[in-house]
Amino acid sequence: MDLSKLEQLAQDTWRIEPSGTMRVPGILYANADLVRAMDTKVYEQTVNVAALPGIVKASYAMPDAHWGYGFPIGGVAAFDPDQGGVVSAGGVGFDISCGVRTLVTGLTRSDIETRRERLADALFAAIPAGLGSTGAIRLRGGEMDAMLSGGAKWAVSQGYGRQEDLHYTEEGGCMDGALPEEVSDQAKRRQLDEMGTLGSGNHYLEVQEVTEIHDTAAAQAFGLCASDIVVSIHCGSRGLGHQIGTEFLRSMAMAAHQYDIALPDRELACAPIRSPLGESYLGAMRAGINCALANRQILTHLARRTFESVLPQADLQVLYDVSHNTCKEEEHSVDDKPMRLFVHRKGATRALGPGHPDLPTAYRETGQPVLVGGSMGTASYILTGMPESEQRAFSSACHGAGRAMSRRKATKQWHGRQVIDELAARGILIRSQSFRGVAEEAPGAYKDVDAVVDSAESAGLARKVARLVPVICVKG
């Protein structure tokens, strides 16, 4: 991206002056190197989102932003229903409520050293991963709708996990306002054997070691010390969410003229929040959020069972579960006035600051854990929301390293076997059904996650708490 098109407001904050059809400015949070490396499409898409009806304050891009569908991935935008605000299926994405759940284990690196290979094999056997893998659960009769209404709460009621898990899951594990009847039979059919599966692409279950603590007080509140072993699960709403995204993107693209919305780009397809199509999408999308929450809850259960068999002294407790592909109705303060806004976070993580009423009591003073997944060879981070987060981008932060290279280029540059061997030599065990899948996700295909989180911290989006490095990665 050409820096000359931007006005620098602070070291990691850049502004795009409103012009043409833009209703609000664009704001990019990243250091100069990251912005320079961003595709021009990120600029175009940030500008396009700024032109949508009812957008409030600004169209934001996070430090890991890259070219997405209509919205940039790493895009944040809030809409006011009272000013004709819209909801966009592309602004949420195909993988509704894709997110990360991190579990502390009570183990340290030395506890797992002699069991690493066994644990990797046991996890790979227990966690359905990759294309064609199916879960053991089949939802019959009204069970599908009960899951879509109940989310992780439903999963716990079925025996997959503990009541306290819900306390450390966004929305208490159950998204209000889900309308299972707005989810098509096709979407439900696509989910029939996919409960408790990781999926593929950049999804994973990782065993990670805490290698650095950046904020001792927050780390203590999150139950983290150096050398601790944690488990992170990155996945979403599986086939059901993909089908909801597909169907509503189509409906919104075809209905745009009916709602008299001038789209700078057809893929920005959206509908007014207060319209039959908008309400139908919101109901279906919230059911998709519950599907993702239930899915990560079931995977938590499978991970616990596996640890019990290999390392019975482990006690897996949920640190937090947070999504990064959502649209949520939230209260925000705009010009010192409280407003109910519909906040799209497409590849962006909610980052509530200290004192927020939606936080579990244990995190009330620290702020919300922000779980940032890196690539399999580098690092992941746990950050925390800051008091400034609210003013920056409606309490939002980055969600990952962000891709630096296309899948096509990655497969030309690396072979999966070679990636696996090189990582094994560095003590990282990869388990995957596909060499090509591993090559596409090679660590070198991603941006520098350290630079991304440093920028997020410097911009005031979220503060670093702990750095995690992978020990075992079950690749989806």
CB environment 237-255: b (16+ within 10 A), e (fewer): bbbbbbbbbbbbbebbbeb
Query: Do residues 354 and 344 touch, judged by C-beta distance below 8 A?
Result: no
- Is residue 185 a contact residue for other proteins (CB under 8 A)? no
- Structure tokens belonging to residue 155: 């999963």
Interface with other proteins (CB under 8 A), residue from 25, 53, 54, 70: 70
Interface with other proteins (CB under 8 A), residue from 309, 406, 413, 418: 406
In angstroms, give the least distance from the CB of 134 to other proteins: 8
CB atoms within 10 A of CB 30: 30
- Structure tokens belonging to residue 244: 């909801």
Residues between 363 and 402 with contacts to other proteins, criterion CB under 8 A: none
- Structure tokens belonging to residue 293: 């929450």
Catalytic position from the list 66, 242, 344, 399? 399
Using the contact rule CB under 8 A, the part of the chain among 53-61, 170-178, 216-224, 240-248 near other proteins is 240-248
- Is residue 288 a contact residue for other proteins (CB under 8 A)? no
Q: Which is nearer to other proteins, 153 or 238 (CB)?
A: 238
Residue with tokens 């098509």: 184
Rounded distance between C-alpha atoms, residue 395 and residue 368, angstroms: 10
Q: Which is nearer to other proteins, 274 or 407 (CB)?
A: 407
Rounded distance between C-alpha atoms, residue 230 and residue 253, angstroms: 42
Interface with other proteins (CB under 8 A), residue from 245, 278, 353, 367: 245
- Is residue 340 a contact residue for other proteins (CB under 8 A)? no
Q: How many helices (H) and strands (E) does the chain have?
A: 15, 19
Using CB under 8 A as the binding criterion, the count of chain residues that bind other proteins stands at 45
Query: Do residues 438 and 457 touch, judged by C-beta distance below 8 A?
Result: no
- Is residue 345 a contact residue for other proteins (CB under 8 A)? no
Using the contact rule CB under 8 A, the part of the chain among 22-30, 55-63, 265-273, 287-295 near other proteins is 265-273
Q: Which is nearer to other proteins, 90 or 377 (CB)?
A: 90
399 is catalytic: yes
Residue of 25, 440, 431 whose CA lies nearest to 206: 431
Rounded distance between C-alpha atoms, residue 324 and residue 305, angstroms: 27
Q: Which is nearer to other proteins, 243 or 368 (CB)?
A: 243
Rounded distance between C-alpha atoms, residue 105 and residue 229, angstroms: 6
**Residues labelled as active-site residues:** 399
Binding stretches for other proteins (CB under 8 A): 39, 41, 66-70, 73, 90, 93-95, 130-132, 186, 189-190, 192, 199-201, 239, 242-243, 245-246, 249-250, 253-254, 266-267, 269, 403, 406-409, 433-437, 440
